[in-house]
Structure 1
Amino acid sequence: MKSPSHVLPYLLASPATAFYIPFFTTRSYAPSAPIPLLVNKAYSDATQLQYAYADLPFVCPPTTDRQHVPLNLGEVLRGDRIVATSGVALRMREDVACTAACERPVVVGAAAIERARSMVEEGYLVEWIVDNLPGATSFVTADKSRKYYAAGFRLGVVDGGKVYLNNHHTIIIRYRRAPGKKGDEEESVIVGFEVYPQEHRDEKFELPPPALMAGKTDAARGEEEEEEETLTIPYTYSVYFREEESIEWSDRWDLYFVNQEDAVRVHRMAIVNSLVIYALLTAIVFVILARTIRSDIDRSRGDGGAAEKGALRSVWRRRAVGTRRPGCERGDEEEEALEDVAGWKLLNGDVFRPPANGHLLAPLVGSGMQLLLMVVGLVLLSAVGVLNPSFRGGFISFGVGLFMFAGLFSGYFSARIFRTFGGREWRSNAFVTVLLVPGLLFAAVLVLNLFVWAQASSTAIPFGTLVAMLPLVYAGSRYGFLRVGSWEHPTKTSAVPRPIPPQSRFISGLPAALLTGLIPFAVIFIELLFVFQSVWQDKSGYYYVFGFLAIASAFLVVAVAEVAVVAVYLQLCAGDHRWWWQSFLAGGGSAAWVFAYSIWYYAVKLHITGFVSTVLFFAYSLVACCVYGLLTGTVGVLTAYAFVRRIYG
């Protein structure tokens, strides 16, 4: 089998962006056929609160034939609230001059005006959908050679201290002849959907300050009683169809990513950076482990190994008895042998001793395997194009499904490790595995949703959805504990633990975990910038460079594994056999650096305003970092266990 260093150059040479696999049959429209226009949500970079567009009090009210479009789980979790409305009538190839979008003008009061002003000032964008394409505003690149789309369009603008609401929209539908027999029948497919609010100041609708919306009534009603004045907002639209033969239907999403080519070059630099760190770390592991440990093992198996083994047996015998026979002193040969074996080989009878609080480590590792399998599945499906922007909500839906399915593996690994640590009650371990990580995530999301529900945001997760996300662990636990059993260690654990000498703070504990976590963080910190931008700034959620993410994730896993091996080896050489929890901390130590990175990102890159949005950012960041630390900590534990078995076997 080739090593990762032989395989990675081929991955780097291959295309790193996901190709397009449509999930739906190409939909074509005959001339004058109606085209549904769906309204979704309003979102902003300045806040984490999204709102259903159809529920806003200052837009065209829903018509009588308003229909809620069925949403998958991913769409619900990402805040989509798609509604089919007949407020805007579209028919294939039929242009429409300026016409009213509402059956009657929208009449609003001071509260609705205040909300409209605040949303415009916070830079909210609106998402409409036609033929599964989000409405976009088109731009050209700096060299004016290519056109690209920016999803969404502004709800309004602030100009000269005044707030204007965009109440007229120009819609451009770009189409081309349908392929095959349908094209011969004059049917067309949609390859572009553009929405342009009015651009000239004299056409914009100014929103007055709310203070001007209230007037005093006559004296008969009393001086303290107020009557709210109303404001009429006329909504209009225009539609233009333009033929576009240069864009294939399968390539119509490419316009949303044309402006990302500079980012692709940065991704490649990030991969090179990760490759350099990976090569240096691999060289260190090879020098320290492959040479040092092999020479130690060869020396213990060579001609001079008899004295060393005799010294070890003498030490272990005296440690088991607890005393030394009177008058029996070590000779020079035994002293020299003990000097040679000082370090990790003296821990032969203690290295597989069950750790303290092993009943918690086992469920953590089980849940970490559940998350690891979920992430691997998502990244691979996205890298090959199965999960792409056209499959709206597919990434989250598949993620929840994979998480629930991987609950079998969570129970399996948790039960085997629990039995390896000497546990007896596998049902209680399965119960803890279900509640410890998934239960805490459930509780955290539920508490955070209280803030979102209070703001009537569309990102609030329905309570029934939360209940349905509990993993299935029982079957995996039963099989792992009863049918497979515990792992067999190559050495037996002694009855009396060996005393642990004083340890350096940089060998074990949290300082050591932070130090070792810095290396995996250095591997992924450039890619984190794009992930954070997609999650916190680009509310449309169109992250697409999963090929690069797959390569960066592979580098991360290898770096975590190698760091855990080095950390455990240094700890064993220092005479400390408590490596189980330390390997978990060493693997997950980079989570602290990721959280520190999120604080920097909030202070430098984001412009979030409002208490609720700030709480949501830091709370979700903390939850995400804990999940990431659990995943990488699991990699550290399993890698360290395989390494310890190898050197003591």
Structure 2
Amino acid sequence: MLQCQESDIKWASRWDSYLLMTDDQIHWFSIVNSLMIVLFLSGMVAMIMLRTLYRDISKYNQLETQEEAQEETGWKLVHGDVFRPPANSDWLCVYVGTGVQFFGMMLVTMVFAVLGFLSPSNRGGLMTAMLLLWVFMGLLAGYSSSRLYKLFKGSEWKNIALRTAFTFPGSVFTVFFFLNILIWGQKSSGAVPFTTMFALVLLWFGISVPLVFVGSYLGFKKPAIEDPVKTNKIPRQVPEQAWYMNSIFSILIGGILPFGAVFIELFFILTSIWLHQFYYIFGFLFLVFLILIVTCAEISIVLCYFQLCSEDYLWWWRSYLTSGSSALYLFLYATFYFYTKLEITKFVSAILYFGYMLIASYAFFALTGTIGFYACLMFTRLIYSSVKIE
């Protein structure tokens, strides 16, 4: 006959032993590692901003004759082309709007998680909150994409709103639906029911799409952002660049540091998702998110400055891709994690893993790329508004 013994543990705290995490030291190492990267980048940016840029601006503003101005080299020479709209500017507006939507969703989600409103013990609560926030952040996506579109002298704001509302969600829903069909084919209980799929489509078309159009309308109604310098009618020829300033090389190099700032914490996130462990120290995650923002902004500014100094004014897309390339390293790390930590042997399970990680990498690309883009946009507007242009 079993005997019941009275326990000193309160009923409300009966699950605490399962939620106990013993790897705080590793998390602190993750934070210290990320902070070291940020401090290193901050030192580089401070050196550029406080020494090199100050010297450049003082020299440019002290030129006495037009002949001296024409003999100058560096970033001032491309002032007549630096704000020229890039090729495929419509798609840049769409992806910037998508990144803003992701940024708003992630920021609000982590603030609520840090404050304790979203708990990992509530199964599905975090994902539901993220979906709802994504839907309502469509207002910011439409607003930011149309504001940038008007900066590029565009006029068809409805076209931009339509692309913003359907490009990213449409591609993600297509991959998600395909993966769900595979789960249905295996007759697994993990398949998303048809009613849930219908609810997702209803949220997308009923709330998100209208909010994107409302945001685009409000953004396009506002006066266009004026460039600090005038753009020449005839584009300047970009001189031949050194091998290390090659667009592909600099883009791939730029993505290493933002990924390096988060990859240790990424291990715990992947473990909590794929090995069914709890992740609830959102304070660490929020700090890593802030570090990611600073890292993306700083590495994009540094490489943008070097690009302009080499008289290459095609910075719009490169500023987005520089920090956005960290998504490539995220997917490569997910592949490494799959072969070293997971014991998945079934083909369908492997397809599910890589499909979901592809979606996560795509979202990470939009988020980090947008951060780098806005950092470079503010940087270029700041430096070109600080020099005298004849």
Task: Give the distance between the partners of 2:299 and 2:53, measured in 1 at CA.
Answer: 16
In 2, distance between residues paired with 1:453 and 1:408?
Answer: 34
CA shift digits 1:167-199 (9 cap, x unpaired): xxxxxxxxxxxxxxxxxxxxxxxxxxxxxxxxx
Other-structure match for 2:248: 510
Post-superposition shift, 1:618? Answer: 1.1
Q: Does 1:254 align with 2:12?
A: no
**Secondary structure of the equivalent of 2:269?**
helix
1:592: which partner in 2?
328
Residue in structure 1 matched with residue 388 of structure 2 by the alignment: none
Structure 2 residue aligned with 1:493, among 216, 231, 254?
A: 231
For residue 395 of structure 1, report the CA deviation from its aligned partner: 0.4
Matched, 1:476 2:239: no
Deviations 1:284-325 (A, max 9, x none): 1111232101111112223xx222xx13xxxxxxxxxxxxxx
Say which SS state the counterpart of residue 444 (structure 1) adopts. helix
Q: 1:629 to 1:241 in 2, by over 3 A?
A: farther
Secondary structure, counterpart of 2:80 in structure 1: coil
Instruction: Name the structure 2 match of 1:405.
Output: 136
Structure 1 CA distance for aligned equivalents of residues 241 and 48 of structure 2: 20
**Higher gyration radius (CA):** 1
**CA 1:289–1:446 in 2, change beyond 3 Å: closer, same or farther?**
same
Paired position in structure 2 for 1:638: 374
Map of 1:553 onto structure 2: 289
Please tell me the residue identity of whatever aligns with 1:584: Y
Distance 1:648 1:598, change over 3 A: same
Tell me, in whole angstroms, the C-alpha distance in 2 between the residues paired with 1:276 and 1:423. 42
Are 1:270 and 2:30 counterparts? yes
Which of the pair is proportionally richer in helix?
2
Q: Deviations over 1:467-510 (max 9, x none)?
A: 1341231110110012x132211111110111101123432422
Deviation at 1:450, TM superposition (A): 1.2
Residue matched to 2:316: 580
User: How far does residue 248 in structure 1 lie from its aligned partner after superposition?
Assistant: 5.7
Match for residue 99 of structure 2 among 368, 376, 379: 368
Superposed, 1:121-132 pairs within 5 Å as none
Counterpart CA distance in 1 for 2:319 and 2:256 is 15
Question: Is residue 179 of structure 2 the alignment partner of residue 440 of structure 1?
Answer: no
What is the DSSP-based 3-state SS (H/G/I as helix, E as strand, rest coil) of the residue aligned with 2:9? coil
**Amino acid in structure 2 at the alignment position of 1:564:** S
Equivalent residue in structure 1 for 2:64, among 306, 313, 318:
306
State the Cα distance separating 1:240 from its structure 2 match.
8.0
The residue that corresponds to 2:150 in the other structure is 419
CA distance in 2, matches of 1:242, 1:493: 82
Partner letter of residue 244 of structure 1?
S
Amino acid of the residue matched to residue 468 of structure 1? L
- Cα distance per residue 1:58-84 (max 9 Å; x no partner): xxxxxxxxxxxxxxxxxxxxxxxxxxx
The residue matched to 2:244 in structure 1 has which SS? coil
Name the TM-score, length of structure 1 as normaliser. 0.56
Which structure shows the bigger proportion of residues in strand conformation? 1
Cα contact 1:426–1:481 (8 A) shared by 2: yes
Hey, what's the Cα distance between the residues in 2 that align with 1:408 and 1:383?
Answer: 24
| Cα offsets for 1:390-442 (capped at 9, x unmatched) | 33321011101100010000000011111111111111111111111111111
Q: Are residue 453 (structure 1) and residue 211 (structure 2) matched?
A: no
CA 1:486 to 1:457, structure 2 compared with 1: closer, same or farther past 3 Å?
farther
Structure 1, residues 597-627: CA drift from partner, whole Å, max 9, x if none?
1111011111011000011111111111111
Q: Which blocks of at least 5 consecutive residues in structure 2 are unaligned?
A: 386-390
Give unpaired runs (5+ residues) of structure 1. Answer: 1-96, 98-238, 312-333
Letter in 1 for 2:59: R
TM-score, normalised by the number of residues in structure 2: 0.93
**Map 1:137-156 → 2, pairs under 5 A:** none
The one of 173, 176, 201 equivalent to 1:467 is: 201
Q: Give the residue type in structure 2 aligned to 1:448.
A: L
Q: 2:87 aligns with which of 336, 352, 356?
A: 356
Q: Percent identity?
A: 39
In structure 2, the CA distance between the partners of 1:252 and 1:298, relative to structure 1 (3 Å rule), is: farther
3-state DSSP class of the match of 2:153?
A: coil
| Inter-CA distance 252–357: structure 2 relative to 1 (3 Å threshold) | same
Q: Which amino acid aligns with 2:17?
A: L
Q: Is the Cα contact below 8 Å between 1:271 and 1:548 reproduced in 2?
A: yes
Measure how far apart 1:269 and its partner are: 0.8
